Structure 1
Amino acid sequence: MGDSVPLRVSTRPHAFPDPCSRHYLLNRPPDEVPPPPFEQDAPVWVAASGAVTAGEQFVEITVQGVGEGTVILRDLHVRLVAKGAPLPWNDYIMGVGCGGNVPTHPLEVDLDAGRPVAVPGSDLHAFPHKVSGSDPLVLYVTARTDDHDVRWYLELEWVADDRHGTVRVDDGGEPFRTSGARGRPAYVYPLGADGWTEAPGGGG
């Protein structure tokens, strides 16, 4: 295997924990914003519209060993690239009049903290974890901010026999980006409608 990393990591940075939970900030008026996407189309929609995740980012990470050995995952670190004032853009809510089962959020990150860390929830044992080629692990990370525009990524620390290292977890080579949306004008796309309308009670 040489110096290759004994892990395969796949990331879904625009997973929807439920159909109504996602908010995105866009620097566009409602009549210039396309209809909300289905979950599988969200990455293309985000890239095409210049959207930034608003308030809370839900990331699904699948980790699987490569080869026959077992890999120990020692920790998951949060790395900040940039942190500034929240974006003064409109808040677009991806669902309305919907609901569903919300998966557990076992790792929580407060991006407004001075030194954010990934905190395991009660339904996930703290690190370390073990993975192999036949026994993958799925991690869910929920990162939140009210007061900042944050560019960030994760580092997964691993050990295999006498080798060790880290794997960067990000959005296709770019940092994740999450911005607070408190007080921003909010819009919804009602079922059966042909455009965005103001959200009752506001948004983020």
Structure 2
Amino acid sequence: MRDADTAAGLGEMLRALKERAGLSYGALAGRLHLSTSTVHRYCTGDSVPAEFAPVERFGRICRADPEELLELHRRWAVADQVPPADDCPPRDATRTTRPTTFRLKVRSTAEDPVTMTAMDVRVLSAEAPPAGVTYADCQGADAQHSFAVDLDAPEPRAVSPRRGFPYQASAGTPLVLDVTTHTLKNEVRWYLELRWTQGPRSGTLRIDDGGHPFRTGAVK
């Protein structure tokens, strides 16, 4: 059975956002392309969406700020670690999520600073995780900027709780990013693309594991 407290925590925040925005269940349902009863169950904690995407859309419709979006993501991840019920598709009840954090340090190799304008998540594959595999964390205590990525979303995006891009990096002052990813269903192979500008020049920097994609997986 679902842990009522964790599901209720997500529902409580959804209700608070709904009330602050002054929207009815019917109005939200229409904009989310869901039934009114489904939206009501999300807000009462009786049901948890199988994907984060509808929760994120709910938050954006209710004008949630970046920090609130990250908190929604955290509450959804915690509530969704147990098997969903009601109108959500079944999952392997023994599979849970263990978020994996990757630390990125970006420096300018030229005298002038470089401006990072955006970061995109590129998924190469999502397959059933192999048995006996563990996934390491690379998180530290001095991250300047943190991002969360739901790899189960149809189009995964890096969501920051604070001010987002652009950021600057120089030769003496690197840009430090912590990217925390999670998946409940698969082993996902993915990489990042950082878009940058420096004066009249611009380009895209691929961030991966030494020429290989990063791997994040659900664990049993």
| TM-score of the aligned structures, taking structure 2 as reference length | 0.50
Kept in 1, the 8 Å contact 2:151–2:181? The answer is yes
Count of aligned positions: 120
Q: Which has the higher contact order (CA 8 A, sep 6+)?
A: 1
What is the aligned partner in structure 1 of residue 159 from structure 2?
119
Select the residue among 165, 181, 202 that pairs with 1:164: 202
Select the residue among 166, 190, 193 that pairs with 1:128: 166
1:61 aligns with 2:99: no
- Local SS of the residue matching 1:69: coil
Select the residue among 118, 121, 146 that pairs with 2:184: 146
What is the aligned partner in structure 1 of residue 87 from structure 2?
none
What amino acid does structure 1 have at the position aligned with 2:148? Answer: E
* Structure 2: gaps (5+ residues): 1-96
Deviations 1:9-30 (A, max 9, x none): xxxxxxxxxxxxxxxxxxxxxx
What is the aligned partner in structure 2 of residue 107 from structure 1?
147
What amino acid does structure 2 have at the position aligned with 1:180? Answer: A
2:102 and 2:135 map into 1 onto residues whose CA distance is 18
Deviations 1:45-69 (A, max 9, x none): xxxxxxxxx7322111101111211
Deviations 1:130-177 (A, max 9, x none): 111122111001010111111000001100111110111001110011
2:196 and 2:152 map into 1 onto residues whose CA distance is 27
Percent identity between matched residues is: 38
Structure number with higher helix proportion:
2
Select the residue among 75, 81, 87 that pairs with 2:124: 81
Q: 1:134 to 1:150 in 2, by over 3 A?
A: same
What is the aligned partner in structure 1 of residue 132 from structure 2?
90
2:172 and 2:142 map into 1 onto residues whose CA distance is 23
2:204 and 2:135 map into 1 onto residues whose CA distance is 35
What amino acid does structure 1 have at the position aligned with 2:181? Answer: A
* Structure 1: gaps (5+ residues): 1-53, 95-100, 185-204
Question: After the TM superposition, which parts of structure 1 deviate over 4 Å for at least 4 consecutive aligned residues?
Answer: 91-94, 101-105
What is the aligned partner in structure 2 of residue 180 from structure 1?
218
1:70 aligns with 2:70: no
- Local SS of the residue matching 1:139: strand
What amino acid does structure 1 have at the position aligned with 2:116? Answer: L
| TM-score of the aligned structures, taking structure 1 as reference length | 0.54
- Local SS of the residue matching 1:65: coil
What amino acid does structure 2 have at the position aligned with 1:82? Answer: S
